[in-house]
Amino acid sequence: MKVLVINCGSSSLKYQLIDSDTEGVIAKGLCERIGIDGGIISYAPEGGEKEEQQIEMPDHKKAIELVISYLTNEKTGVVKSLSEIGAVGHRIVHGGEKFTQSVIINDEVKKAIEEVSDLAPLHNPANLIGVNACEALMPGVPMVAVFDTAFHQTMPEEAYLYALPYEYYEKYRIRRYGFHGTSHAYVSARIAEILGKKKEDLKTIVCHLGNGASISAVRNGKCIDTSMGLTPLEGLIMGTRSGDLDASIVEYICKKENLSVAEVENILNKKSGVLGLSAGLGSDFRDLEKGYNEGNAGGKRAIEGFVYRVVKYIGAYAAALDGVDVICFTAGVGENSGFVRQKIVDRIDFLGITLDEEANKKRGEEIRISTPDSRVQVYVVPTNEELAIARDTVALVK
Ligand code: ADP
């Protein structure tokens, strides 16, 4: 079956058409600046030339119309007609406590997604716009919702509750949800396959280190803890997000800088993390690494801070899991930066890990980067959220 995977943001839309039989990508691309002047769409059929077109996309419906016209284009398209697309899988950021796994989308599901929009005001409404646009243009094609939070719903109460008055959990469902769940689920399942072990026999720590970064502890194939919380702001130091901090800082900055809470929250989300720590050198690890190697103090501060936070979480999760068998690195930084991986692994040798320096030079491929005699194995496992979404979609609509 051919499955269209849609990841819809407020002004962008990523898409992939996946053949679920071969699990290969048939075509993929990106629509940017939807609803903003200067729209741009890209389209890359497998084995063909990548195309880019500047075109205004006043709304997501227009964007999906364009995606469909590229996919079905007589010359460069990859399907003869829309009827070849058997299902659509949508990435939905927040499923609240309601969704513990992927579901077929119907009116009730859409209502439930809307109900938790309070928890992800930037993402869920945009995700729903994508769903509605696809429904309008592809009537009768089954749609599936795959939630970023679902994999983490197995966390026990001790891990997901904040130590706040309990009534806030009861009234408002304020708790830790965790994100990047599709990636943590994919990588933790994949490493079991790679090692030829049952998920039930493994204690795994997954480090998803991208622009957004999170880490999870997985036992028996189930997540028992993860670093992001009510929102994706908590946990690791990220590209532009602060991660963990003392909540009192918010009021303190408000007073000192004469800012509103919303303005400070914006700073915590968009101007902090390695960007903030590096005093503006950048949020991209390639720039930071270059700065680090050239002796830039900001680059050094940012990378050392980032690494330290990851190391602290690995230590905490090794304790939470009561031991660890394998640590996986994934996402942009985790898959590509041997520099950052080395700095992390060098600081966790108490776990009995020795880095295989040759293997660690590789980028973006499945590879073991610990020596065979290491007590805990360390792997790079490239994530594939789109494939995971396509798999869930097919499993539900078949
Ligand atoms: P997201 O999906 O959260 O936007 P990604 O997982 O795509 O992020 O990761 C993006 C980040 O990966 C970039 O900000 C960049 O810092 C990092 N990255 C990509 N390639 C490299 C590389 N070769 N070396 C170091 N960092 C890299």
Residues 204, 138, single domain; the answer is no
Q: Is the pLDDT of residue 77 over 90?
A: yes
User: Tokens 């284009």 map to which residue?
Assistant: 73
**284 CA from centroid of ligand 1 (Å):** 7
Active site residue 148: yes
Q: Tens of pLDDT along 12-39?
A: 999 999 999 999 999 999 999 999 999 9
How many folded domains does the chain comprise?
2
Residues 232, 369, single domain; the answer is yes
Q: Averaged over 157-175, what is the pLDDT?
A: 98
**331 CA from centroid of ligand 1 (Å):** 7
One-letter identity of residue 66? L
Residues 134, 209, single domain; the answer is no
**300 CA from centroid of ligand 1 (Å):** 18
Range of the domain at 143: 2-147
3-state helix, strand, coil in the chain (%, to 5): 40, 20, 40
Residues 256, 137, single domain; the answer is no
* Ligand 1 shell residues, CB under 6 Å: 210-212, 239, 284-286, 289, 331-333, 336-337
Residues 140, 46, single domain; the answer is yes
**133 CA from centroid of ligand 1 (Å):** 30
Choosing from 129, 147, 165, the residue where a domain stops is: 147
pLDDT of residue 25: 98
Domain-embedded: residue 135: yes
184, 269, 333: residue to mutate for ligand 1 pocket, most atoms within 8 A of CB: 333
User: Two tokens at 160?
Assistant: 């997901």
147 by DSSP, 3-state: which?
strand
pLDDT of residue 68: 95
236, 278, 284: residue to mutate for ligand 1 pocket, most atoms within 8 A of CB: 284
Q: Tens of pLDDT along 248-288?
A: 999 999 999 999 999 999 999 999 999 999 999 999 999 99
Considering only CA atoms, which residue is closest to atom 7 of ligand 1?
332
Domain-embedded: residue 119: yes
Domain-embedded: residue 157: no
Q: Averaged over 223-241, what is the pLDDT?
A: 97
CATH number of the domain enclosing 232:
3.30.420.40
Domain-embedded: residue 160: no
pLDDT bucket at 375, cuts 50 / 70 / 90: very high
Residues 79, 211, single domain; the answer is no
Choosing from 87, 114, 147, the residue where a domain stops is: 147
> Closest Cα to residue 393, out of 153, 105, 110, 197?
105
Spatial CB neighbours of 156, under 8 Å, sequence gap ≥ 6: 224
Q: Tens of pLDDT along 111-143?
A: 999 999 988 888 899 999 999 999 999 999 999
Domain-embedded: residue 224: yes
Q: Is the pLDDT of residue 9 over 90?
A: no
Q: Averaged over 172-177, what is the pLDDT?
A: 97
pLDDT of residue 310: 98
Residues 255, 325, single domain; the answer is yes
pLDDT of residue 118: 87
Q: Tell me how far apart the alpha carbons of residues 177 and 231 are, in angstroms, rounded to a whole number.
A: 7
Domain-embedded: residue 304: yes
Residues 291, 357, single domain; the answer is yes
Domain-embedded: residue 154: no
Domain-embedded: residue 174: no
Spatial CB neighbours of 323, under 8 Å, sequence gap ≥ 6: 203
Residues 137, 202, single domain; the answer is no
Catalytic residue among 21, 37, 118, 148: 148
Residues 112, 207, single domain; the answer is no
Q: What is the pTM of this model?
A: 0.95
Q: Tell me how far apart the alpha carbons of residues 24 and 170 are, in angstroms, rounded to a whole number.
A: 44
